Structure 1
Amino acid sequence: MGSRSRPVADLSPLLGRATGQDGGAVAAGDPGAVRARFRERLAQWMFVAPAAAYLLLFFGYPIVKNVVMSFQRYTTTTFYTGAAPFVGTRNYSEILSSDLFPKALLTTVLFTAGSIAGQFVLGLALALFFRRRFPLGGVLRSLLLLPWLLPLIVSGTTWRWMLDPDTGVVNTALRGLHLSSSGIPWLTGTSPALLSVILINIWVGIPFNTAILYGGLQDIPPHLYEAAKLDGAGPLASFRHVTWPLLRPVVGVVLVLGVVYTLKVLDIILVVTGGGPAGATETIATRSYELSFQQFEFGRGAAMSNVLVVISLVFALVYLRANRRARNV
């Protein structure tokens, strides 16, 4: 069957207008369009400017100033004379070669590892528990946030009173239950003191872990558990093959934030033990505080705090890279 050929009109100008190919040229030559685009860009930058100024003023400047101070001999006389001689890497070499640094580093590792392990395990257990619906579940979840909402100075002072070896309620209860005749030196013994601050930090950090992990559990579709149950999977198998794989991104965020926060914990240790006894609870953070505000060696204190920042960044980068590789496998 034949067909009569008809001339086809050139539709390229129409297509160009429809797709906006020549609209840019028209808009570029239109002064009104140019002014409208300028006002739009200006409005965008006006929204960004306050946040950028805040970050530069309260984060950027202190970080740069701290780095500069770590290469200077910055003491109390600097505030009067303004002289802060450049000493290069001497501050770093002094703090790294000090006999106190290896002990503070080991205490920091033990404190961080113990705190993160306790917070995460108990937080995950509570998140799984609160996932079940039961009467007053919402009230209990709200009460669980109280340790996180209380000022750390208040929490530390309360725990110091409770763990006092002589008059604390903990040792009083242990003696009343005939579990210990003389009590436990929670704050005066080297090992018990470190264990005490770890337990207190676990108590403070459990609400954060529970809240974040509970939110992650809520995002897991229920039909996946129903399918796993139909396949014969029990609670452990469902957790291993359904809950844990889907919760891993949230777990990564919780662990990274928990480690970074725990590395810089200062107020709890200062209030409860003051870094003692015999430096048993002195971490890199408390050592930096001692150098800066007790010995007034601000340059060495800044160097110590920069070492802590580097440790935090290294851990975060290593963990995120390992987590990315695990997801790609």
Structure 2
Amino acid sequence: MGIDVTRTPRAATVGETGGAASTAPPAHRRRRHPSGSRWAAWAFLAPVAGYLVAFYAYPLYRNVELSLREYTVRSFVQGGAPFAGLDNYRAVLSAPTFPSALLNTLVFTAASLVFQFAIGLLLALFFHRHFPLSRTLRALFLVPWLLPLIVSASTWSWLLNSEAGVVNAALALVGVEPVNWLTSPRWSLVSVIIANIWIGIPFNLVVLYSGLQAIPRPLYEAAELDGAGGWQRFRWITWPLLRPVSAITLLLGLVYTLKVFDLIWIMTRGGPTDSSTTLATWSYRLGFGNLLPEFGSGAAVGNLLILLAVAAGGLYLGFERRQRLS
């Protein structure tokens, strides 16, 4: 008997190939991984998408639809409101309350943002020095932010009360006449601005302090070795590196301040004579504050407020794009 040696290498080769083929995973198994990962990603995304649709997209759609129809109490419950087109928007824009409400909204928002950010930045720089009891003091500064707004508004209403308020009592000690903080058209808007600044300072403090913590300390040490003073270190190190955090802080503060309603409503109800009425309080008053509510007009004012917030977001995105390109 003889062995055909010429076939052995081929057989070995075939055997090796067959072994390699047997150890390699089938093609259909390799395809299952991406598909399974895709379904898992959709499964994790579904709750978030459902939440956004249920609590953001649908209410926004309903608000737009509400502003385009002439709703009454009966049609609001039973349906069948006639289509009004842009009549509600025309009525709102031509109303005598609109110019003062828009101006009050802009003044209230701008003054709140400027003072909240400036005071919050100063406090963040102060606490960044890490002196004894700094953590305790930072925790105490968070109290206005943690209190419910109804408590804060009620507290400020008591402090600024014309007859029994602490602020007027303190002014009387230095010989200043009492001020009608909440009942005077001259001071009502100032009163709600002061209260809103007090509430918003802790948020600015926390965010800006976190931004300061992210700045590397060796940069300050190198600047000190070069003879840079405190103002120069702030101008050339702190502020440029804190600019992205400052931008998002101002954007979030802007969106929050535009929709402030409960603070103003509890303290002044938008009065007297619309002197502290903003778009947010006017929208509520049109929709729910009258015996004959104007749901369509109230929704139209709310949509105008949303457009202001969207415009602010667009400005922020443009600022971010400009920063990335520079």
Corresponding letter in the other structure for 1:188 = T
Residue 178 in 1 paired to residue 174 in 2? yes
**How big is the shift at 1:83?**
1.2
C-alpha distance after superposition, 1:49-99 (max 9, x if no partner): 111111111111101111111111122111343111111000111101111
| Residues 328/47 of structure 1: CA separation in 2 closer, same or farther (3 Å cut) | closer
* Cα distance per residue 1:282-325 (max 9 Å; x no partner): 00111111111123211111111000110111122124314543
Paired residue for 2:105?
108
Change (3 A) 1:60 1:191: same
User: In the alignment, residue 178 of structure 1 is paired with which amino acid?
Assistant: V
Aligned equivalent of 2:135: 138
Which of 229, 244, 255 matches 2:224?
229
> Residue type of the partner of 1:108?
T
Q: 228-237 or 310-319, which moves further after superposition?
A: 310-319
- The equivalent position to 1:195 in structure 2, one of 184, 187, 190, is 190
2:313 aligns to what? 316
1:265 matched to 2:265? The reply is no
Post-superposition shift, 1:143? 1.2
Aligned residue number for residue 216 of structure 1: 211
Q: Describe the SS at the equivalent of 2:138.
A: helix
Distance in 1 (CA, whole Å) between partners of 2:265 and 2:192 is 10
1:253: which partner in 2?
248
Asked if 1:240 corresponds to 2:224, the answer is no
Any idea what the Cα deviations from partners look like across 1:238-260, whole Å, max 9, x if unmatched?
A: 10000000000000001111111
- Structure 1, residues 153-186: CA drift from partner, whole Å, max 9, x if none? 11001110111000111111221x13324x1111
CA–CA separation in structure 1 for the residues paired with 2:174 and 2:239: 42
- TM-score, normalised via structure 2 length: 0.89
Residue identity opposite 2:176 in structure 1: S
| Structure 2 residue aligned with 1:7 | none
Partner of residue 294 from structure 1, selected from 276, 280, 289: 289
Q: Indicate whether 1:276 and 2:274 are aligned.
A: no
* Offset, 1:149: 0.7
Letter in 2 for 1:179: G
Count matched residues.
302
Supply the distance in 2 between the matched residues of 1:266 and 1:172 (Cα, whole angstroms). Answer: 28
- Report the Cα offset of residue 131 of structure 1: 0.2
CA distance in 1, matches of 2:77, 2:205: 49
Rate the CA distance shift 1:80–1:238 in 2: closer, same or farther, 3 A: closer
For the structure 1 residues 48 and 303, does the alpha-carbon distance in structure 2 shift closer, same or farther, using more than 3 Å as the test? same
CA distance in 2, matches of 1:42, 1:323: 34
Distance in 1 separating the partners of 2:274 and 2:31? 66
Secondary structure at the counterpart of residue 191 of structure 1 = coil
Structure 1 Cα separation of the partners of residues 246 and 175 of structure 2: 38
Partners of 1:186 and 1:327 in 2: how far apart?
A: 46
Unmatched segments (≥5 aa) in structure 2: 1-23
Q: Shift of residue 230 of structure 1?
A: 1.6
Task: State the alpha-carbon separation in 2 of the partners of residues 40 and 221 from structure 1.
Answer: 39
1:273 partner letter: T
Match of residue 6 from structure 1: none
Distance in 1, matches of 2:69 and 2:48, equals 31
Once the two structures are superposed, residues 215-258 of structure 1 have per-residue CA deviations (whole angstroms, 9 ceiling, x without a partner) of 00000011111111122210001100000000000000011111
Determine helix, strand or coil for the equivalent of 1:77.
helix
Q: 1:147 aligns with which of 115, 140, 144?
A: 144
Aligned pair partner of 2:199 in 196, 200, 204: 204
Q: Secondary structure, in 3 states, of the residue corresponding to 2:84?
A: coil
Identity %: 50
Amino acid at match of 1:64: Y
Paired residue for 2:40, among 34, 40, 43? 43
**Which deviates more from structure 2 when the two are superposed, residues 188-197 or residues 318-327?**
318-327
Corresponding residue of 1:18: none
Aligned partner of residue 238 in structure 2, secondary structure: helix
Q: State the shift of 1:327 in Å.
A: 5.9
Shift of 1:326: 5.5
State the AA in 1 paired with 2:251: V
Distance in structure 1 (CA, Å) of the matches to 2:98 and 2:42:
46
Going from structure 1 to structure 2, the CA distance change for 1:79 and 1:323 (only over 3 Å counts) comes to closer
SS of equivalent residue, structure 2 residue 186: helix
Structure 1 counterpart of 2:234, one-letter code: F
Q: Which stretch shifts more, 67-76 or 315-324? A: 315-324
